[in-house]
Amino acid sequence: MKFTFSWLKEHLDTKASVERIADTLTRIGLEVEELFDPATSFAPFRVAEVIKCEKHPNADKLSVCEVDTGKERLQVVCGAPNARAGMKGVFAPVGAYVPGIDLTLTKAKIRGVESHGMLLSERELELSDAHTGIIEVDAKAKVGSPAAKALGLDDAVIEVAITPNRPDYLGVRGISRDLAAAGLGTLKKDHVRPVKGSFANPIPIELEFDNDRANACPVFAGRLVRNVKNGPSPEWLQRRLKAIGLRPINALVDITNYISYDRGRPLHVYDADKLNGAIRARLGRKGETVLGLDGKIYEVDDDMCVIADDRAVLGLGGVIGGEETGVTEATINVFIESAYFDPRRTARTGRRLGIQSDARYRFERGVDPDFVVPGLELATDLVLQTCGGAPSKITIAGKPPKTNKLFKFDLALVKRLSGLDLGASEIKRQLAALGIALDGKGKQLKATPPSWRPDLTGPADLVEEVVRLTGVDAIPATPMMQVAGVARPVLTEAQKRQRLTRRVLAARGLVEAVTWSFIPPEHAELFGGGQAELTLSNPISTELAQMRPSLLPGLIAAAQRNRDRGVADGALFELGQAYRGAEPQDQFVAVAGVRFGHSALAGSGRHWSGEAPAADVFAAKADAIAALAALGLDQASLAVTREASSWFHPGRSGALKLGPKTLLGIFGEFHPDLLARLGIDPPIAGFELDLDAVPATRQKRESKALEASDLQPVRRDFAFLLDAEIGAGEVVRAALSADRALISDVGVFDVFTGQGVPEGKKSLAIEVTLQPREKTLTDAEIEAVAERIVAAVKKATAGELRR
């Protein structure tokens, strides 16, 4: 919402400066977005008179002027064809900043002649694009006086942000009322005067709604004005509209626009000679269309409130008028409409048709229903002043809805909600200044808000008014009650685990990324997602249209972008939500990591001590295992299977499970087809864990005491010849099972295929640690355990001991 300082003063009697007005507006809830004060911006520019104007000795198109600035006479070189002796223009002295050419003037020599300043064109002042000549100001303007004043630009323009609860702020008068209530002057008396009609309005107005839809347009007032002379609106009106960025059209239209901004009261004017029969407010009918004032054809439906005559739809009530019945410069008889349209229906209609209009903006916020008739009177008054003519009597169909309801208000609520300790009289003064009627004695009152404040519906709203006008700065900061003693921990188990997982992965050299929750649909499909229920109806682009089933596609895409920027090796991870469906329980917290190029725990890229290995299935597995270990799951408790998803390389990937049912995560190198679809080259490997599937670990305090034996552990090595398909994990598990009390650890220290190992077989070597507890083991006891280990491995894997 834009307005000018002089416009404001038409409603507000104030001595406050424009800066003070702006500060107050911001404080009370009308955040000033822009304050343009030409008096300040144009301060260096003054009216000057050209005393002499002679041809430049060295240039045909330039002239050399002697200019009287009011303080001195200066020589100025000028290129404008209209420069001549005796004219008055706008002078910029040396040192002034000229906005249109983005230059601070210095003394200059132009083709050998000194120039001490500049005579300005409109473009150089950014007033318009005109630059063929310099500005000529009125001959009566005083030499040396501010140029802004001479140009009629001494009116500051203020633009404020409007919160959607305040339709009354969409008129300058509403803003003035709040400034007065905030103590910046007094609101002037309203100057709306009824205009007597000289004949009965010949155009009937009908409200054609069912009872339960009557709120679509509960009141509609109108009158005819005959024999008007439409044309350009008067100078003052055009200037005001231009100052706030509106284009003057003709007097009748300009008057409705003016009242829209002056009072927040939208109106519509029809060329009465183009109307057929009665004016009817009703719901639209399927198949009807209307040509809007914006030149577009709109299809109407039966949820929209339309204005029609006997023949056709004329416009969309509260949203946009129709082109065919609009006024033109040729209009002689004008019908003026002032109605009230239901905010919700207006919003729906506007949204469905994609129409943003000043009328919709106001009606959907709720205009003052009691100003329907005064608005019509004000418009008639201005039409008569501007265009002449003879007004009819007013026809009113329906009656204004009651948008304001009485409610109880306990003055003590101000202190209870805000902490502000104000006297009853101060609270009452502020509320009265806003037009709120208070009845009753003592602290228990009854409040009736004015008709222009549909946002005031309960006592908390009045507390807001008091807080706003008093200023939040006046509220004393009050410490909150705290628990006695040291603050207690507040994080949930899941929150702690997420924090820990992040730090563990970062400590392994992975860099945390945050990527979009929505990804290209084809990426989602590649990773098992793409359900219709997770497709956005209105994505910002097709690249960001599908909720991600996994964090991996985002990370892989990020890896490729890094490569494109010349980062060949790296490791990224993300911890965040992914989606199996649209229900809350379908959202889960995942953590995923990728390593690309040459990247491993020890480092990335090339190094004199040896290049990091290419990212592979084991680098990915190690990252996943480390994260799970930090969450209390050791490797021995996990089952590793080959059931990784289809987006992984089938031979170089795995799944991490807890028991047969609980899938914790997957890891591996990616399927080459997938990498081709995503446009990324190997090496790249990754993992993803479902953190919500990881069971909570037992409390640390319940853990067992350390059992450290004084006896030396015994280590024995075994090498087995196995089918190449047998997993090392099976051998380890079998060996451990041979004597759970005695065997404390089984490690794999060699895997070998090739010379000496038959085709289809592999040699796998394990180191078994035996930890005696009570006495040193005898050779016979060690031998017995060894035999059990060999037997267990053979039983589980058919592997033979190599000798």
The site map against another protein for 568-587 (x = CB under 8 A) is --xxx--xxx-x--xxx--x
* Exposure string for 782-802, b = 16+ CB within 10 A, e = fewer: eeebbebbbebbeeebebeee
Looking at the Cβ atoms of 238 and 560, the one nearer to another protein is 560
654 contacts another protein (rule: CB under 8 A): no
Query: Judged by CB under 8 A, which stretch of 59-67, 294-302, 603-611, 703-711 contacts another protein?
Result: 603-611
609 contacts another protein (rule: CB under 8 A): yes
Among 607, 642, 715, 795, binds another protein (CB under 8 A): 607
Instruction: Give the span between the Cα atoms of 736 and 721, in whole angstroms.
Output: 18
- Closest approach of another protein to the CB of residue 552, in Å: 13
Dihedral sign from CA coordinates of 306, 307, 310, 311? negative
Query: Judged by CB under 8 A, which stretch of 104-112, 125-133, 197-205, 470-478 contacts another protein?
Result: 470-478
- Closest approach of another protein to the CB of residue 352, in Å: 11
Number of residues that bind another protein (CB under 8 A): 103
Looking at the Cβ atoms of 428 and 502, the one nearer to another protein is 502
Among 104, 495, 637, 709, binds another protein (CB under 8 A): 495
485 contacts another protein (rule: CB under 8 A): no
Among 301, 324, 426, 464, binds another protein (CB under 8 A): 464
Residues 146-175 touching another protein, rule: CB under 8 A, are: 163-166
> Residue 84 in contact with residue 62, Cβ under 8 Å?
no
Instruction: Give the span between the Cα atoms of 158 and 389, in whole angstroms.
Output: 35
- Closest approach of another protein to the CB of residue 434, in Å: 13
Among 159, 208, 323, 512, binds another protein (CB under 8 A): 512
The site map against another protein for 293-332 (x = CB under 8 A) is ----------------------------------------
Query: Judged by CB under 8 A, which stretch of 60-68, 380-388, 431-439, 566-574 contacts another protein?
Result: 566-574
Rounded to 10 deg, the angle between the 728-737 and 779-797 helix axes is 140
Looking at the Cβ atoms of 295 and 476, the one nearer to another protein is 476
Residues 400-459 touching another protein, rule: CB under 8 A, are: 415-420, 455, 458
679 contacts another protein (rule: CB under 8 A): no
- Closest approach of another protein to the CB of residue 304, in Å: 13
- Closest approach of another protein to the CB of residue 605, in Å: 10
Dihedral sign from CA coordinates of 638, 644, 645, 647? positive
Query: Judged by CB under 8 A, which stretch of 90-98, 476-484, 643-651, 791-799 contacts another protein?
Result: 476-484
212 contacts another protein (rule: CB under 8 A): no
Among 133, 539, 682, 729, binds another protein (CB under 8 A): 539
- Closest approach of another protein to the CB of residue 563, in Å: 10
> Residue 629 in contact with residue 621, Cβ under 8 Å?
no
Among 425, 482, 776, 778, binds another protein (CB under 8 A): 482
Query: Judged by CB under 8 A, which stretch of 149-157, 192-200, 217-225, 338-346 contacts another protein?
Result: 338-346
Q: Element (H or E) spanning 788, and its range?
A: helix 779-797
Residues 344-403 touching another protein, rule: CB under 8 A, are: 344-345, 347-348, 351, 364-365
Per residue, what are the HEC states of 467-529? Answer: HHHHCHHHCCCCCCCCCCCCCCCCCCHHHHHHHHHHHHHHHCCCEECCCCCEECHHHHHHCCC
Q: What is the amino acid identity at position 590?
A: A
Looking at the Cβ atoms of 256 and 470, the one nearer to another protein is 470
Among 565, 698, 704, 803, binds another protein (CB under 8 A): 565
* CB burial of residue 700 (10 Å; 0-12, 13-18, 19+): exposed
Query: Judged by CB under 8 A, which stretch of 192-200, 286-294, 547-555, 739-747 contacts another protein?
Result: 547-555
Looking at the Cβ atoms of 28 and 80, the one nearer to another protein is 28
558 contacts another protein (rule: CB under 8 A): yes
- Closest approach of another protein to the CB of residue 507, in Å: 4
The site map against another protein for 516-535 (x = CB under 8 A) is xxx-------------xxxx
Instruction: Give the span between the Cα atoms of 570 and 572, in whole angstroms.
Output: 7
Residues 31-50 touching another protein, rule: CB under 8 A, are: 31
Q: Provide the CA 645 distance to its chain's centre, in angstroms.
A: 37
Residues 248-277 touching another protein, rule: CB under 8 A, are: none
In the structure encoding, which two tokens stand for residue 118, read together? 């500049």
- Give 257's contacts (C-beta < 8 A, 6+ positions apart): 241, 246, 358
Per residue, what are the HEC states of 594-660? Answer: EEECEEECCEECCCCCCCCCECCHHHHHHHHHHHHHHCCCCHHHCEEECCCCCCEEEEEEEEEEECC
- Closest approach of another protein to the CB of residue 361, in Å: 9
Residues facing 747 on adjacent strands = 767
Looking at the Cβ atoms of 199 and 516, the one nearer to another protein is 516
DSSP state of 777: P
Instruction: Give the span between the Cα atoms of 36 and 44, in whole angstroms.
Output: 16
537 contacts another protein (rule: CB under 8 A): yes
Among 514, 629, 636, 791, binds another protein (CB under 8 A): 514
- Closest approach of another protein to the CB of residue 575, in Å: 8
CA distances from 6 to 9, 15, 156, 635 (A): 5, 12, 8, 78
Q: What is the amino acid identity at position 232?
A: P
Among 15, 295, 311, 538, binds another protein (CB under 8 A): 538
Instruction: Give the span between the Cα atoms of 360 and 306, in whole angstroms.
Output: 13
In the structure encoding, which two tokens stand for residue 742, read together? 């005695």
Among 291, 505, 519, 789, binds another protein (CB under 8 A): 505
> Residue 333 in contact with residue 275, Cβ under 8 Å?
no
Verify cis geometry, omega within 30 degrees of 0, for the bond prior to 683: yes
- Closest approach of another protein to the CB of residue 457, in Å: 9
Q: Provide the CA 603 distance to its chain's centre, in angstroms.
A: 40
Per residue, what are the HEC states of 672-720? Answer: HHHHHHHCCCCCEEEEEEEHHHCCCCCCHHHCCCCCCCCCCCEEEEEEE
Beta strands, E only, 142-226:
157-160, 186-187, 205-208, 219-226
- Closest approach of another protein to the CB of residue 185, in Å: 19
755 three-class SS:
coil
- Closest approach of another protein to the CB of residue 533, in Å: 6
Looking at the Cβ atoms of 55 and 443, the one nearer to another protein is 443
Query: Judged by CB under 8 A, which stretch of 144-152, 477-485, 708-716, 783-791 contacts another protein?
Result: 477-485
The count of other CB atoms within 10 Å of the CB of residue 652 is 18
Among 424, 601, 630, 658, binds another protein (CB under 8 A): 601
Residues 13-32 touching another protein, rule: CB under 8 A, are: 26-29, 31
> Residue 576 in contact with residue 549, Cβ under 8 Å?
no
Looking at the Cβ atoms of 112 and 164, the one nearer to another protein is 164
Dihedral sign from CA coordinates of 311, 312, 315, 317? positive
> Residue 317 in contact with residue 305, Cβ under 8 Å?
yes
Query: Judged by CB under 8 A, which stretch of 188-196, 247-255, 429-437, 510-518 contacts another protein?
Result: 510-518
Among 108, 507, 676, 751, binds another protein (CB under 8 A): 507
Looking at the Cβ atoms of 98 and 347, the one nearer to another protein is 347
In the structure encoding, which two tokens stand for residue 625, read together? 């295992």
Phi-psi region of 410 (alpha: psi -120 to 50; beta: other; left: phi over 0): beta
